[in-house]
Structure 1
């Protein structure tokens, strides 16, 4: 069968294809190509000058210029409630300035911040270990070279950091008598200037509140909730398939009928069953319309949806707006959100980190 049966035959060849170009036409084409190359070279030189100006501005502290953005000011607030548990197994880290942990100052960033919440199970040792060591490992691996492929380098750095932290804890856990069986979820937020990377394992979550004015005008502002993390539990198809391929089983929504999450730090007895420490990664560019980010363990989200949590915080911020300074308002919103989760009947540990996002023109990078 001829695959081209349905195509009509051309009635006659185009004139331009049938006649060879004249010498005059060839000379005109050569002149046009030379002019085009000259224009491209001029544009490249202008771009190089612009890039040099951007690098100069970054080095001087991200002062305002047409070529760069304001570096957001991030401030973290935390609230922790034990709930009805006998032990607080959650842990958290607030590092608005990571410079002291970086092995070398990065050339591609003016400020690096880190916030994390860890929800332990089977004990508090895995969550405490991750809270102590993960950001230190991250600082050692953080890229400090040129910025051409910095996004890929940061992503690789986060994956490698999670793997190393997990391996280090498992090595320590297995050397104990009896061996530790603790595990922990992790939701970590790394902010590099105005770009946020969220790496998470398990069922702790991160959500961003972004506002927008209707029609781009002033007046009452609408808001939206953006998910910055992905839950890992054995009921998700991809997670269940990986566990089953590794020889594990999923019963009653749990690995081997026991473990509720399919990715974690620690849980050495389940690693042979397909439980891994490879985090989900999400990247988000912050804007002047962003208000705050909530990082919290599943204790909060058992009784709050993401939208409800964001709406609750916005309500407290508005309620406290006339009588408190900004820091006090955010701290009050964080404390009241965690307290409300317990009041609604959450028996689990509840840890909430509220990170305010501000683009303050008078702020300096050293803040």
Structure 2
């Protein structure tokens, strides 16, 4: 069995690959039980809590010198509270988290991390994950010069998600009354030019890749799914929940919880809700333009294709108001991110909306 659900290999001259990527179920019950055993850019949103910002600042300044030929990654974020009383989303952007790591593996030049967490039942699980998950990841990240890097990164991600969930549940259960918060998690880890995506729940990540069409030779955008949604209506998820003694009613666990995997949600863990993420891997190429990470607030009113085309339309638009500290390209990327989140609210999404736009340049 492959370690990851790989995306299609990039092509240079063929017709666009299908945008529909079918992920086979990655974790059987037995595998889950075995795994359970075994620019720094000032685009931080004003709603970031100061304690998380302080933790991120501990990671130091962004290194600007990387291995030749590596993609340049820049992150932009937009967050909207929508009609909710509370902002329950959280996010982290670390275009270079190398200084968070004790040591980098010998052949690795840069490690980047971007994540979106969509809380439910409160903001405490999403904030906890945003504050702690990447620090746990840094402690578990492979060291030395290992040959089996993919296997070690898979184990690192699985262990990190499990530990983050366990630590939050321990903290939640110690409160009076106990916290009942939960959160999705979609994390993009970029090791040099290899993207590893780990996700729980219904937040999503998609990649815009430009492919040459056979007919006219023009490069056309293709939308590739980097994540897999987890909700209890999916057969494999429902079967796991039912085997654990839970039920699915009206598309929800026990008729209440919309997702079948999450961080937190202690009251549902005995009903088959797990914190084991799905993992995907994709190598970046010069054909890749950007990655969109967003909570379901965006994808309730945008399809993945529509979101990609919306961003491209802004990037290909006219001139933007100049800013002394930003290039025109950066201003357009910032505008695309902000307008995408704003358009989601305009289309009637009442949920929190958080969008991270990661540009990919060579």
Shorter chain as denominator, the TM-score bin is 0.7 to 0.9
Q: Which moved more, 1:322-331 or 1:139-148?
A: 322-331
Give the 3-state SS of the residue equivalent to 1:329 in structure 2: helix
Unaligned stretches of 5+ in structure 2? 1-64, 323-327
Match of 1:293 in 2: 291
What is the rounded CA distance, in whole Å, between the counterparts of 1:281 and 1:303 in structure 2? 25
Match of 1:150 in 2: 149
What is the rounded CA distance, in whole Å, between the counterparts of 1:320 and 1:162 in structure 2? 42
Aligned pair count reads: 293
What is the rounded CA distance, in whole Å, between the counterparts of 1:216 and 1:102 in structure 2? 47
- After superposition, the C-alpha distances for 1:195-254 in whole angstroms (9 at most, x for unaligned) are 000000000000000002334986x42110000000000000000000000000000000
Shift of 1:61: 5.5
Q: 1:343 aligns with which of 341, 346, 352?
A: 346
Whether 1:309 aligns to 2:314 is no
Shift of 1:320: 3.9
Unaligned stretches of 5+ in structure 1? 1-59, 64-69, 360-367
Q: 2:276 aligns with which of 266, 270, 278?
A: 278
What is the rounded CA distance, in whole Å, between the counterparts of 2:320 and 2:183 in structure 1? 40
Shift of 1:103: 1.9
Match of 1:237 in 2: 235
Give the 3-state SS of the residue equivalent to 1:273 in structure 2: coil
What is the rounded CA distance, in whole Å, between the counterparts of 2:288 and 2:66 in structure 1? 22
- After superposition, the C-alpha distances for 1:71-101 in whole angstroms (9 at most, x for unaligned) are 1111000000000000000000000011121
Are the counterparts in 1 of residues 189 and 196 from structure 2 also a CA contact under 8 Å?
A: yes
Match of 2:336 in 1: 333
Are the counterparts in 1 of residues 198 and 278 from structure 2 also a CA contact under 8 Å?
A: yes
Are the counterparts in 1 of residues 204 and 296 from structure 2 also a CA contact under 8 Å?
A: yes
Alignment of 1:84-163 (within 5 A): 84-163=83-162
Q: Which moved more, 1:146-155 or 1:159-168?
A: 146-155
What is the rounded CA distance, in whole Å, between the counterparts of 1:321 and 1:222 in structure 2? 22
Are the counterparts in 1 of residues 196 and 280 from structure 2 also a CA contact under 8 Å?
A: yes
What is the rounded CA distance, in whole Å, between the counterparts of 1:87 and 1:179 in structure 2? 19
Q: In the superposition, relative to structure 1, how do residues 170 and 316 fare at CA in structure 2: closer, same or farther (>3 Å)?
A: same
Are the counterparts in 1 of residues 320 and 332 from structure 2 also a CA contact under 8 Å?
A: no
Are the counterparts in 2 of residues 108 and 144 from structure 1 also a CA contact under 8 Å?
A: no
Shift of 1:322: 7.3
Q: 1:62 aligns with which of 39, 44, 67?
A: 67
> What is the aligned-residue RMSD (CA, Å)?
1.5
What is the rounded CA distance, in whole Å, between the counterparts of 2:66 and 2:237 in structure 1? 44
- After superposition, the C-alpha distances for 1:258-288 in whole angstroms (9 at most, x for unaligned) are 0000000000000000000000000000000
TM-score (norm. length: structure 2): 0.79
Match of 1:188 in 2: 187
What is the rounded CA distance, in whole Å, between the counterparts of 1:303 and 1:214 in structure 2? 29
Give the 3-state SS of the residue equivalent to 1:330 in structure 2: helix
Q: 1:353 aligns with which of 353, 356, 361?
A: 356
What is the rounded CA distance, in whole Å, between the counterparts of 1:238 and 1:158 in structure 2? 22
Shift of 1:104: 1.7
More helix by share: 1
Shift of 1:323: 6.7
Give the 3-state SS of the residue equivalent to 1:85 in structure 2: coil
Match of 2:317 in 1: 319
What is the rounded CA distance, in whole Å, between the counterparts of 1:216 and 1:356 in structure 2? 28
Match of 2:265 in 1: 267
TM-score (norm. length: structure 1): 0.78
Q: Which has the larger radius of gyration?
A: 1
